[in-house]
Amino acid sequence: MAHTYLLFDFGTDEEKAQLARHKLEGWKQAFRLDKKLQYKLERSEPDPEAIAEPAPKPAEAHKDEKSKSKSRSKSKASPKRKAAAVEAEASEEAPNPNGKVNLLVRLYFSGHEKLTEQRWLDRIPSEEPFREASPRVVHQGEQQFDELVEQFDALG
């Protein structure tokens, strides 16, 4: 089975990276690509000089979370609202909002699925959030392939 890696550099745009991650997750579920399409986000540390605003105080954040959780538990929220609230909290907790975000996608199709693999190689970079992220495809046997395998496994 051949591996192919797709690299996307979103720069400092965490929102686009999360949108791309969401789209990949939807494809994985819709097309049953559990082991065949895997992805990992790589975040690099932001420059200390680039951070001008101090982070909010942890004590204030805990008070806000407590008041939010109390108000949510009192009201009967629909499952969709709960899921949206969880997603909003997860996006707020995303580390390094000013750091660079890279998305590594691994396609892992068997030899008899060459047409399917080629379709995904054509489709993913042409879709909206991926198109602007300077897509790069690395096939097995190319010079950077071994480095990408190590990088992908290290992100674990």
What pLDDT digit, counting tens, does each position of 9-21 carry?
999 999 999 999 9
What pLDDT digit, counting tens, does each position of 92-137 carry?
445 555 789 999 999 999 999 999 999 999 999 999 999 999 999 9
Which pLDDT does position 99 carry in this prediction? Answer: 86
Which are the contacts of 67, defined by CB distance < 8 A and separation ≥ 6?
none
Hey, what long-range contacts does 124-127 have (CB within 8 A, 24 or more apart)? 124/6, 124/24, 125/6, 127/23
Threshold 0.85, pTM exceeds: no
**Do residues 105 and 38 make contact, with C-beta atoms less than 8 angstroms apart?**
yes
Q: What is the helix, strand, coil percentage profile of the chain, to 5? A: 50, 20, 30
Cβ neighbours, 10 Å, residue 39: 19
Which pLDDT does position 149 carry in this prediction? Answer: 94
Chain mean pLDDT for the chain: 80
**What is the domain partition of the chain in residue ranges?**
2-46+99-155, 58-92
**Fold designation for 2-46+99-155:** Alpha-Beta Plaits (3.30.70)
**Do residues 128 and 4 make contact, with C-beta atoms less than 8 angstroms apart?**
no
